[in-house]
Amino acid sequence: MATLTGSLPAPFASASCAIAHTMQPSEQEAIELLKHVRVFETLGPKDLAQVAAVTVSRTFDAGRVIFREGDQSDTCYVVRAGHARATREHGDGRTLTLAHFGPGDIFGELAMFDDECRSATVETLDPVEAIAILGTDMRRLMREHPELSFKLVISLGRRLREANERIARQSFQTVQSRVAGVLAQLVADAQAEGAGERDVVVTITQADIAQLAGSSRESASRFLAQVERAEVITQGRGRITVRDPAALENYVY
């Protein structure tokens, strides 16, 4: 694994960002994580080993900013454990939630291709373990191994196509269906991390669910109250317990 010495580059050195602690995982551990990340899904064992060789392991405390909107973009991260969210500040002062990240998710990946400023802020929801890949290292690998660039472009193209399809699908859904879909996806993510078939706890606020679903908080709140009365979920402060995930799926269409 690569190690960073001396002064840390942004965003690690930014006073406004989280203090990251360095650990040193084995290269095989990094390969096992990378091979399950969608953006690297087309890479073979040799390619994954090349990427794993330039990764650096980082840990962040809960409630810390990893990078802020407008920061220099020089590093991407793959989550090993924990959860984070991407937010963006609206001109009127509101903070909008754009995405949630959990184990196996990647964020800041455009730093592999350019050094444009960050388009969103990413902050941790609980302690996060991640591996970091410096953009300069990835660009060097892509220059040295052109086939790696080709495979990464294919993967990013697939993600863009999936995003377009999801946006198109949501445009035909009701607010209730979009909210149920967001919650169902969070349940699926939690189950992939080891949660059971029932009584799945999701740490998220009503405001975040509404923003992820592209609805008003009031509309999301009304729907959540409806499914709570139906005993599909129970709500707590900053968390929702989905008692019957199969029943929740009936609201997604």
pLDDT of residue 223: 93
| Tally of domains within the chain | 2
- CA distance linking residue 180 with residue 168, whole number of Å: 17
| CATH code for the domain of 125 | 2.60.120.10
CB 200 within 8 A of CB 189: no
Mean pLDDT of 199-227: 89
The predicted model gives 171-196 an average pLDDT of 86
Band (pLDDT 50/70/90 cuts) for residue 198 is: very high
Residue 79: pLDDT band with limits 50, 70, 90: very high
Whether residue 118 is found in the same domain as residue 218: no
Structural domain contains residue 8: no
> What integer pLDDT is reported at residue 136 of this predicted model?
92
The answer on pLDDT for 138 being more than 70 is yes
Question: Residue 20's pLDDT is what?
Answer: 55
d(C-alpha 29, C-alpha 54), whole Å: 13
Domain boundary among 166, 183, 208: 166
- By percentage, how much of the chain surpasses pLDDT 90? 34
211 is a domain residue: yes
Let me know if residue 16 belongs to a domain: no
Which amino acid does the sequence have at 90? H
3-state secondary structure the chain: CCCCCCCCCCCCCCCCCCCCEEECCCHHHHHHHHCCCHHHCCCCHHHHHHHHCCEEEEEECCCCEEECCCCECCEEEEEEECCEEEEEECCCCCEEEEEEECCCCEECHHHHCCCCECCCEEEECCCEEEEEEEHHHHHHHHHHCHHHHHHHHHHHHHHHHHHHHHHHHHHCCCHHHHHHHHHHHHHHHHHHCCCCCCCEEECCCHHHHHHHHCCCHHHHHHHHHHHHHCCCEEEECCEEEECCHHHHHCCCC
pLDDT at 7 over 80: no
pLDDT at position 169 over 70: no
**Dihedral over Cα of 48, 53, 59, 63: its sign:** negative
Q: Which has more pLDDT, 92 or 38?
A: 38
Q: Where a domain ends, among 122, 138, 166?
A: 166
Query: What is the rounded average pLDDT of the residues 12-18?
Result: 38
pLDDT category at 8 given cuts 50, 70, 90 is very low
Indicate the range of 55-64, 112-121, 218-227 predicted with least confidence. 112-121
* Structural domain ending residue among the three candidates 166, 186, 215: 166
pLDDT at residue 131 in the model: 94
**Least confident span in 10-14, 128-132, 182-186:** 10-14
Mean pLDDT, all residues of the chain: 82
For residue 43, pLDDT beyond 80? yes
For 84-136, how does the pLDDT look when each residue is reduced to its tens digit (9 = 90+)?
A: 999 888 777 677 788 889 898 889 888 888 878 898 899 998 999 999 999 99
Q: Would 41 be classed as within a structural domain?
A: yes
- pLDDT of 227-243, one tens digit each? 999 999 999 888 899 99
Q: What is the mean predicted confidence (pLDDT) over 136-156?
A: 86
For residue 74, what are the domain limits?
A: 21-166
Residues 183 and 157 occupy one common structural domain:
no
Asked whether residue 231 is domain-assigned, the answer is yes
pLDDT value of residue 67: 94
Distance CA 38, CA 116 (A): 22
Residue 148 lies in a domain: yes
